[in-house]
Amino acid sequence: MILAAGRGERMGDITKDNPKPLIRVKGKPLIEWHLEKLSATGFKDIVINVCYLPYIIKFFVVDGSK
């Protein structure tokens, strides 16, 4: 399970319209780093706990096929 429900208030305006898991680091959203590592180690089913701006995270992840 990936915990991705926080508001990211300490990030200020960066997370006003963009959830913290989608902030880019070295060209990729934070959550993508985690998903890639989990996939590389054999995980097939991953649950993501979302709350703040959940529709944006769901749109990014879609069905997980990427």
| pLDDT value of residue 63 | 80
CA distances from 61 to 3, 10, 12, 13, 54 (A): 14, 24, 24, 23, 11
| pLDDT value of residue 43 | 95
d(CA 51, CA 66): 22
Per-domain boundaries in the chain: 2-61
| pLDDT value of residue 13 | 94
Quick check: pTM over 0.75? yes
d(CA 8, CA 4): 10
b/e sequence 34-55, b meaning 16+ C-beta within 10 Å: ebeeeeeeeeeeeebebebbee
How does pLDDT run along the chain (66 residues), one tens digit per residue? 999 999 899 999 999 999 999 999 999 999 999 999 999 999 999 999 999 999 999 999 998 777
